[in-house]
Amino acid sequence: MYIIEVCSGVCKKAVINQVEPIDFATLTKSRYFFTWKLLRQTATIYKLQIDGNDDILGVMALVDHPAEKRIEIKLIANSRENQGKFKQYDRIAGCLIAFACRLSADKYSEGACVSLVPKTTLVNHYKQKYHMIYGGWQLYLESDALQMIIKKYVA
């Protein structure tokens, strides 16, 4: 799994781990757009970092729905400096989504599904960039599309 430094084109190995209690001090709303500690009781929160670096570049909260063989991305955010035209690193969100897809595939095999409820302005972005399917109020990945995201971002 890797992210790309936009200014140089250099690939950097990325790692995703569960957020530790001490991380919440740095997961501020001003840098990551949400109050992440509010989700501690209802979701498992993961962080993306460059291997060997403590800086958190992306965050994602996941909720498992075993009865539906589905993992929901409750929240996902790149750090402020990694959004938009002038971002430092590319592929952060893709790596996080692929991580959720791999968790779902490992747990639910062929029936695996990953879903999220996007902001209205991001619906087309998720559909175009990650091949998510519109399913009413949620977007989702399953089957071949889910495997394609894993291959693209995890390999």
Instruction: Print the domain residue range for 74.
Output: 2-154
Residue 120 has pLDDT above 80, yes or no: no
Segment 59-75 shows an average pLDDT of 97
pLDDT digits 0-9 by tens, 4-50: 999 999 999 999 999 999 999 999 999 999 999 999 999 999 999 99
Query: Could you tell me which of 48, 56, 44, 54 has the C-alpha nearest to residue 16?
Result: 48
Instruction: Output the pLDDT for position 40.
Output: 93
Segment 122-145 shows an average pLDDT of 91
Instruction: Output the pLDDT for position 137.
Output: 84
Give the number of domains in the chain.
1
Residue 3 has pLDDT above 90, yes or no: yes
Instruction: Output the pLDDT for position 146.
Output: 95
pLDDT digits 0-9 by tens, 77-108: 999 999 988 999 999 999 999 999 999 999 99
One-character DSSP codes across 95-151: HHHHHHHHHHHHHHGGG-EEEE---GGGHHHHHHHH-PEEETTEEEEEHHHHHHHHH
Instruction: Output the pLDDT for position 136.
Output: 82
In whole angstroms, give the CA distance from residue 141 to residue 10. Answer: 29
Instruction: Output the pLDDT for position 81.
Output: 96
For the entire predicted model, the pTM comes to 0.95
Instruction: Output the pLDDT for position 70.
Output: 96
Q: What's the CATH number where 49 sits?
A: 3.40.630.30
